[in-house]
Structure formats: C-alpha cells, structure tokens
Amino acid sequence: MTIDEIRDLLKEVKYPGFSRDIVSFGVVKDISLDKDKVEVDLNVTSPSEETRGEIKSQVEAVLTKSGGFSTVEVTLSGGSQASPPQKPAAAPVPAISLSDVKHTIAVASGKGGVGKSTVAVNLAVGLAQKGHKVGLLDLDIYGPSLPVIMGVNERPMMTQERKLVPLEKHGLKLMSFGFLTGNDTPIIWRGPMVSRMTEQFFTDVTWGELDYLIMDLPPGTGDIQLTLTQRLRLAGAIIVTTPQDLAISDVRKGADMFGKVNTPLLGVVENMSGYVLSGVVRGSDNQPISNATISIPGMDKTKEVKSSDDGQFTLEVDLFKRGGGHEESNRLHVPLLCEIPISLELMESCDEGIPLIIKDPDSPAGRVFAQLVEKVEEILPG
C-alpha cells in the first residue's frame, strides 16, 4: 500500500459527531511506512479525551483490518491548547442574544460537585438583594440542582405565544431543565439536543428586562460547553474550583475555553477553601472561659486565637495547602474573586432551599458571597 492509499483508507474514519472524515478535517498529520510497519501521527485539536481516544482507536482498527501491515502505530498530538475543528463551513454557529438583558454571566467548573450551582444561586440572589433585576438559568442538564437549592419545583406556565414563563422565587426569575424533566430522571443529552434546548431556554422564555442573567453551565470544558459559550453572547464568565482542582489545571482548561470564544473571564471562585471552626470554651464547671488559647495545627502553620469575654472563638482552619488559589490565578492572569470556606450552614441552606445569602448573610460564607456580589457589580455595573 502506498501513503496515498493509506490516506484514502483513513477517509473511512469520521470525526466524532460530524459527517466529515478526519482526513478532510486535517487531522492526519503524517503517515510513514517502513516495509510493513505503518506509523500515523494524528493532530486532534479537541480537548475531549473521549473524542481523541475514539479517533485513535478507529484509525488503529481501520489499518489493522486492512491486513496490509504487521505493525500499526498511531500517535496523537494537539489537544487542549488548540481549538477543536469547526463544523463544516456551511453551518457556522449563529450567536443568540437577548436585547433586554444587560449582562449575561456564565458560571462554569471543570467538573461536578465543586459548588458551581451554590455559587451561581448565591451570586444571583445577592445581586437581586441589591435591587437589580436578575434571572437565573440552570443549564446543568446532568444534575439540575436549582430546584433544590432555590426550594422551588413547579412546572413553568406557557403563554399563548408558547413562551415559557420563568418561575419566581427569592426575587429572581428562574428556569431550569429540572422544572421540565423532574430531578430524578437520568437523562443523556447529545450535543445538538442540548444546543436546541438551550436556545429555547434563552429565547423562548419571557425573561423580560434583566440587569443580569446568571447561567449555571453544565460541568466540564468539553465541546458542549464550548458550543454553549460560543452561541450565547456572554459578558463574562466565572470559574468555580476547589483548591485541589486548581492544581490539576481545571482553571487553565476553563480559561482556554472562554478565550477561544473571546469571553472575558471575570475571575475564579475558590470554593471549600478552608473550614471555619467556632464554639465556646468552657471549664469543668461548664462556665465560659475568656482569653483561653485555641491552637489548631494547619497545613502551613499552627493557627491560634483567644476566646472572647463570653468564651466564644472563631478560627479558620486550612484543610488543603493554602495559597494555591492566589498563585494559580496570578500565573493565569485571572483574578481570584473570593475564597469560600467549607461551611455546614452553606450545605444546610442548599438542602433547605433558602440561599445562605438570605438565610444567614453574616455567616463567614455569607459574607464572602456578599464580596463576590460587590466585585461582579464593580466589573459589570448593573
């Protein structure tokens, strides 16, 4: 087989999710032939490991199946730094935007469970408390948590023009996949379906005039998120991460994704940054002891506080190596917007459906959310 024949053979492999083949996408970078050993170097620009793995194994399968080679070696280059291939030129992704919405802000994360929805909700409610008109759109199709965190789960009404009327709670207009599908339905959505549904949530909902529309994006920085960010004209994006995940380049991937679609990154929110211990020091007679020293060994250094006159103390303990947020955000030139401690009250407020910024604004985490709201107002005045 000649190199050209091998190239023709590789045209059988389609780029996952597209009808075009990998050769016409320019994925096949190099083919070399040494007797009956073939080496193929692929340049797959998609950051999705699934896409990359699928292309590699399909190429291996096609070459092995041809029976022409004793050894087949396929290598992959490219990756998260480059942009994924665009859809064929005939179908550019049209941007959709809402003329009555001043600022659309996406809240994103590299993976689930880092507190993305918790941050989106408290930010949205905090902005509404300041007198702004705010909408909250939960696009987290894999685990819509807005109905639980906001304590509302009704079916939205439809207008005669078949537009969805957002639900209202805690001063916000709300829409979530969860309102339509129920929370317990495990759903597997494919990219194009997500795109269609999202478009409807964006344009077929009577949002009215809004100062801010906060969007809770599905977790991850793959193709679905990229398409969403590309289509919805965003004023900015916020990435939520935990201290450990900062180290595994979640923020880098998120920053790359928003960079590709020219969306300004407003900054990073580090969640579960530490733990705030509070309590009362009492003696064996159960009386509060003032001026007692409470000393807790931390990751970097032992922390100490003195109890107050009534024996009360509050001490923030580091559970993970501290300072990662600052270092990483400096390195990436992305501001660190705030650091939210692990907080029992915050977890409980989510379960109860009353956002912490309403339930206990003076709690340590409540105060951090207030700071976040102020920063967002500062960057994008309502």
Backbone angles phi, psi at 43, to 5 degrees: -110, 95
**HSE of 247 in the Cβ direction (CA atoms, 13 Å)?**
7
In sequence order, the β-bridge partners of residue 304 are 295
Residue 253 touching ligand ADP (CB under 6 A): no
Closest separation in Å from C-beta 124 to ligand ADP: 13
Residue 352 touching ligand ADP (CB under 6 A): no
Q: Give the C-alpha separation, 176 to 164, whole Å.
A: 11
The amino acid sitting at 74 is: V
Specify the residue for token string 């009704």: 154
Closest separation in Å from C-beta 250 to ligand ADP: 11
- Hey, which residues between 94 and 113 contact ligand ADP (CB under 6 A)? 109, 112-113
Residue 225 touching ligand ADP (CB under 6 A): no
Q: Give the C-alpha separation, 304 to 307, whole Å.
A: 10
Residue 52 touching ligand ADP (CB under 6 A): no
Residue 221 touching ligand ADP (CB under 6 A): no
Residue 346 touching ligand ADP (CB under 6 A): yes
Query: Cα-Cα-Cα-Cα dihedral of 215, 221, 224, 229, to 10°?
Result: 50
Specify the residue for token string 């923020």: 251
Helices 250-260/324-332 angle, 10° precision? 30
Are residues 10 and 59 in contact, defined by beta-carbon separation less than 8 angstroms?
yes
Are residues 176 and 187 in contact, defined by beta-carbon separation less than 8 angstroms?
no
**HSE of 88 in the Cβ direction (CA atoms, 13 Å)?**
10
Residue 329 touching ligand ADP (CB under 6 A): no
Complex with ligand ADP: residue 52 or 169, whichever CB lies closer? 169
Complex with ligand ADP: residue 54 or 245, whichever CB lies closer? 245
- Applying CB under 6 A, among 58, 80, 117, 363 the residue interacting with ligand ADP is 117
- Applying CB under 6 A, among 48, 227, 241, 343 the residue interacting with ligand ADP is 343
Q: CA 360, 363, 364: angle at the middle one, nearest 5?
A: 145
Are residues 104 and 98 in contact, defined by beta-carbon separation less than 8 angstroms?
yes
- Applying CB under 6 A, among 45, 46, 51, 271 the residue interacting with ligand ADP is 271
Residue 114 touching ligand ADP (CB under 6 A): yes
Applying CB under 6 A, the span of 83-91, 187-195, 314-322, 336-344 interacting with ligand ADP comes to 336-344
Complex with ligand ADP: residue 45 or 271, whichever CB lies closer? 271
Closest separation in Å from C-beta 86 to ligand ADP: 29
Residue 265 touching ligand ADP (CB under 6 A): no
**Under the rule (CB under 6 A), what is the footprint of ligand ADP?**
109, 112-118, 145, 219, 271-272, 340, 342-343, 346-347, 350, 365
